[in-house]
C-alpha cells in the first residue's frame, strides 16, 4: 500500500507543474495584443525574406556557403507563411460574410485574394517537402534544396508585391477586438515558435544579412542610421 501511495504522490507532483504552465500560458494569452502580434509577425516575415533575397543574390546557385542560412530561412518561412495564410483566410471569411453582396468590387478582390492564397499555399507545401527531403538526406543534396528555395522565392516575391490593401476600410469598420483575436489565433505557443525560428535565422546569418538589419518593409531598404 505504501508503494502504491508513493506512485500516486509522485504522479500528483508531475501534474502540478503542467497545470501551472497551462495557467501561465492562459494568462499570457489574455495579455497578447492580436493586432500588434500580427504586425510583428508580418514585419519579421518581410525581414526574413529580405535576408533570404540578399543571401540568394550573394552566392551562385548550388553554392552551399550559406546553406545554414538557407535552411533557417526555409524553416521560418514555412511556419510564417502558414500563419499568414491562416490569418488571411480568417479575414477573407469574415469579410465575405459581412460585406454586402452588392459590393462587387470587394467580392471580386476577395476572389483574387483567394487565388493568390491557393498559389502561395501550394508553394509553401513544396518548400516544406523540399526542406524535409534535404534533412532526411542528411543535407547531402543541397542543389535540389537550393533550386526549390530559389523557385519558391521567385514565386512568393511576385505574389507579395506591395499593393494597396483594398480591405482596410472595411476591416477597420466591421471588425471588433474579439474578431481580431479570433483572426490572429495568437498564443504563447505561436509566439514562442516564431521567436525560435526567427532567432535561428539571426544565428545563421552573417552580420550583413541578419534580418534585423532590414527594415521589414517591402524591398531591400535598411533602417535609417540613427544620429545617436
* Burial environment of residue 19 by CB neighbours within 10 A (0 to 12, 13 to 18, 19 or more): exposed
Measured in whole angstroms, the distance separating CA 110 from the mean position of its chain's CA atoms is 21
Residue 185 scores a pLDDT above 50: yes
**pLDDT at position 97:** 94
Helices 34-58 and 67-98, packing angle to 10 deg: 140
Confidence of residue 215 (pLDDT cuts 50, 70, 90): confident
User: pTM, whole model, 2 decimals?
Assistant: 0.81
pLDDT, tens only, 148-170 = 999 999 999 998 866 567 788 89
Average pLDDT of the residues of the chain:
83
**pLDDT over 90, % of the chain:** 71
Confidence of residue 119 (pLDDT cuts 50, 70, 90): very high
Residue pair 211/205 in contact by the 8 Å Cβ criterion: yes
Residue pair 209/69 in contact by the 8 Å Cβ criterion: yes
Of the two residues 218 and 126, the one the predictor is more confident about is: 126
**pLDDT at position 205:** 98
pLDDT, tens only, 1-22 = 333 222 222 222 233 233 333 3
**pLDDT over 70, % of the chain:** 80
Helices 188-204 and 34-58, packing angle to 10 deg: 20
**pLDDT at position 13:** 29
Measured in whole angstroms, the distance separating CA 179 from the mean position of its chain's CA atoms is 20
**pLDDT at position 169:** 86
Q: Of the ranges 186-190, 198-202, 223-227, which one carries the lowest mean pLDDT score?
A: 223-227
Of the two residues 57 and 8, the one the predictor is more confident about is: 57
Residue 183 scores a pLDDT above 80: yes
**pLDDT at position 182:** 95
**pLDDT at position 218:** 57
Confidence of residue 53 (pLDDT cuts 50, 70, 90): very high
**pLDDT at position 163:** 59
Residue 226 scores a pLDDT above 50: no
Domain boundaries, the chain: 34-213
pLDDT, tens only, 90-107 = 999 999 999 999 999 999
Amino acid at each position: 500500500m505504501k508503494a502504491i501511495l508513493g506512485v500516486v504522490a509522485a504522479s500528483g507532483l508531475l501534474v502540478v507543474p503542467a497545470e501551472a504552465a497551462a495557467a501561465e500560458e492562459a494568462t499570457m494569452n489574455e495579455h497578447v495584443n492580436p493586432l500588434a502580434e500580427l504586425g510583428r509577425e508580418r514585419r519579421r516575415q518581410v525581414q526574413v525574406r529580405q535576408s533570404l533575397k540578399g543571401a540568394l543574390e550573394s552566392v551562385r546557385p548550388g553554392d552551399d556557403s550559406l546553406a545554414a542560412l538557407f535552411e533557417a530561412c526555409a524553416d521560418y518561412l514555412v511556419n510564417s507563411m502558414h500563419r499568414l495564410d491562416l490569418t488571411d483566410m480568417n479575414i477573407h471569411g469574415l469579410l465575405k460574410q459581412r460585406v454586402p453582396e452588392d459590393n462587387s468590387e470587394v467580392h471580386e478582390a476577395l476572389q483574387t485574394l483567394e487565388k493568390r492564397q491557393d498559389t502561395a499555399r501550394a508553394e509553401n507545401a513544396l518548400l516544406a517537402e523540399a526542406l524535409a527531403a534535404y534533412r532526411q538526406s542528411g543535407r547531402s543534396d543541397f542543389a535540389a534544396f537550393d533550386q526549390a528555395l530559389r523557385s519558391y522565392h521567385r514565386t512568393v516575391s511576385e505574389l507579395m508585391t506591395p499593393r494597396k490593401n483594398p480591405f482596410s476600410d472595411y476591416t477597420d469598420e466591421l471588425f471588433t477586438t474579439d474578431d481580431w483575436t479570433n483572426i490572429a489565433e495568437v498564443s504563447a505557443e505561436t509566439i514562442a515558435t516564431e521567436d525560435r525560428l526567427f532567432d535561428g535565422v539571426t544565428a545563421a546569418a552573417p552580420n550583413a544579412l541578419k534580418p534585423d538589419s532590414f527594415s521589414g518593409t517591402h524591398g531591400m531598404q535598411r533602417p535609417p542610421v540613427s544620429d545617436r
